[in-house]
Amino acid sequence: MADFKVTELDDSVDFGNLKYWDVVIIGAGPAGLAAGLTTAHRGLTTLIIEAKDKPGGQPQFLYADKRIVDIPGFPDGITGEELSERVYRQAVNALVQFRFREELTEIQDTEETEKEDALKRVVTSKGEYLCRKVIIACGLLHYPRKLPALDALNSKKVYYKIPKIGDYQDLRVAVVGGGDSALDAAVMVLHRHGQVDLIVRRDHVRGKADTLTRVKADGGIMHTSCEITAADFVGGEIALTLTDGSTHNYDLVIVQIGFLSAKETFQRLDLRLSDDGSIAIDPYFETSRRGVFAVGDVHGDIKLIAVAWAEGIQAAIYAFKEITSPFWLNEKRLRDQKIAMIGDKISQAAGR
C-alpha cells in the first residue's frame, strides 16, 4: 500500500497553539512510539501522552538492563533501556510531541469537525486535547499482579519489575513465576553471580525451553507445583514458606506473574471488549468507536516488541489514510466485504 501524500513535518510548526492535533496517541511504549513515528513522518501533527515520567513502556520499566535478543537488526541484542532511548530520540527528531506524567481519563465525542472529520477530545489528568484520530497504545502495564503474602511485608526487597544490576549482584534471589519474564530475570541474576530459586505455581515452566535450559545449566533451582503460603523477615532476610512445607531464606524476591487487565479503563472509554477483557478491534485496528484505534498489548495475543511496532505502524497508516483520503477506510471495508461474500458463494457452490 503506497503512500502518495507523504510530507514530513516542518520544524516551524507552532505546536503550542494548534487548534487540534491530527493524531493523539495514548502510551509511549513500543507500539505508541512506532505509531507516532509513522504519523509524524507523514506530516501529521502527533502528540503522545504517557502516564509515566519517561518513554519506553515495558522494555524500559520492567527489564531496562535485560538484553533483548529476538529483535531483528540487533545480532548482539540490545537492552530495554537503550532500545527505548533510541526509538524515543527518533520520534523527537521526527517532531513527535510528548506529555509525560499524564493519565488518560476519557475520550469524548464532539460536534466540532475538520473536513467532515468529527473531532475527539482526549481528556487527561492535566489537560484536554482536540484531535482527529486517537490511537490507544497504553499496554496492560497498569497493575502488575501481586502476592498478598509478600505485599504484607511492605519491603523494598520485593520487586515487581526487574531490579537494576547492582540490586542483586551476588545475592540469593527467589523468582516467582514460570513465564519468559521470570526465566529472563533468573538468567540475569545467575549471570551476576547470584543464586536463584524459581518458584512456579504450575507443574511445568511455560517460558522458552532454551532459556530454561540456561537457568538449569547455571545452577538455578526449580520449585514446581509450589506457591508461597507465608513470608516473614528472619535476620534481615525474607523467609518464604512454600506449599510443599519447606522454608527458604532469600536476600530479595522478584515477582513476575503477569499483569491485571486494564479492563475498567477500557470500559470507561465506552469501547467494545473481547471476552478476555482486551479491546476488540476490526482488521484495520479500529475499535467500536469511529476514529479510535488500538494497538499492542491492549488487544493482541502475541506480546512482542516487533509485533507492537508492526501494529503501531499499520494503525498509523490507516489513520493517515482516513485523514488524507476521506471515506477511504469505509470504501475499503465495503470492498473487502464484497470479496468475502463472493468467496462464501463460491465455497457454497463448490460444496453442493
10-residue stretch averages of pLDDT, the chain, 352 residues long: 59 91 96 96 96 88 81 91 95 96 92 90 95 90 76 90 76 93 90 94 91 94 94 94 95 86 76 86 93 89 88 95 77 67 64 61
Q: Return phi, psi of residue 140, to 5°.
A: -120, 35
Q: Return phi, psi of residue 99, to 5°.
A: -130, 115
Pairing of strands 237-242, 104-114: unpaired
Question: In degrees to the nearest 10, what's the CA dihedral of 69, 70, 74, 75?
Answer: 70
pLDDT in tens, 204-245: 999 899 999 999 999 999 999 999 999 999 988 999 999 999
Q: Which three cell numbers stand for residue 109?
A: 465525542
- The pLDDT score that the predictor gives to residue 348 is 65
Q: Kindly report the CA angle at 316 between 280 and 286, in degrees rounded to 5?
A: 20
Q: Return phi, psi of residue 309, to 5°.
A: -60, -50
| Residue range(s) occupied by CATH 3.50.50.60 in the chain | 15-142+260-343, 146-257
Q: Which residue has the cell 488518560?
A: 104
- The pLDDT score that the predictor gives to residue 343 is 61
pLDDT in tens, 183-199: 988 998 998 899 999 99
Q: Which residue has the cell 529483535?
A: 71
Q: Return phi, psi of residue 152, to 5°.
A: -65, -20
Q: Return phi, psi of residue 106, to 5°.
A: -160, 165
Helix residue ranges, H only, 76-179: 80-93, 148-151
Q: Which three cell numbers stand for residue 302?
A: 502475541
Kindly report the CATH number that applies to the domain delimited by 146-257. 3.50.50.60
Please give the CATH superfamily to which domain 15-142+260-343 belongs: FAD/NAD(P)-binding domain (3.50.50.60)
| 8 Å CB contact between 186 and 253 | no
DSSP state of 177: -
H or E, element range at 67: strand 67-68
Q: Which residue has the cell 479510535?
A: 292
Let me know if 341 is exposed, middle or buried by CB neighbors in 10 A (0-12, 13-18, 19+): exposed
- The pLDDT score that the predictor gives to residue 7 is 60
